[in-house]
């Protein structure tokens, strides 16, 4: 990851507004960095999570999430 650029992926099985607000608050702590937030709402399939994980790895990014569905949350935390 470029030290002055970053991507934060925000995954939610609902709209994900709270998780996005947390990501924005965290990114505000680094004003010298260009931080892009990729918001992925309404995730209902493990395949969607797999795609985000793959892209996040390619970009050396972090993933924040707000997942209520136990299967989705457990899958993501185990990855």
| Helix/strand/coil percentages in the chain, nearest 5 | 40, 25, 35
Rounded to an integer, the average pLDDT of 37-63 is 96
Residue ranges of domains in the chain, CATH in brackets: 5-78 (3.40.50)
> What is the b/e burial string over 34-50, where b = at least 16 CB atoms within 10 angstroms of the residue's CB?
ebebbbbeebeeeeebe
Alpha helix (H) ranges present in the chain?
Answer: 17-27, 46-58, 70-78
2-49 pLDDT, tens per residue? 568 899 999 999 988 888 899 999 999 999 999 999 999 999 999 999
The confidence score (pLDDT) of residue 42 equals 96
Beta-bridge partners for 37: 8
Instruction: Judge if pTM exceeds 0.95.
Output: no
Beta-bridge partners for 11: 40, 65
């Amino acid at each position: 990851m470029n030290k002055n650029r970053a991507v934060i992926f925000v995954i939610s099985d609902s709209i994900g507004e709270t998780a996005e607000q947390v990501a924005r608050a965290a990114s505000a702590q680094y004003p010298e960095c260009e931080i892009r937030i990729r918001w992925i709402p309404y995730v209902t399939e493990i395949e969607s999570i797999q795609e985000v994980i793959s892209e996040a790895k390619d970009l050396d990014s972090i993933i924040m999430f707000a997942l209520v569905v136990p299967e989705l949350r457990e899958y993501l935390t185990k990855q």
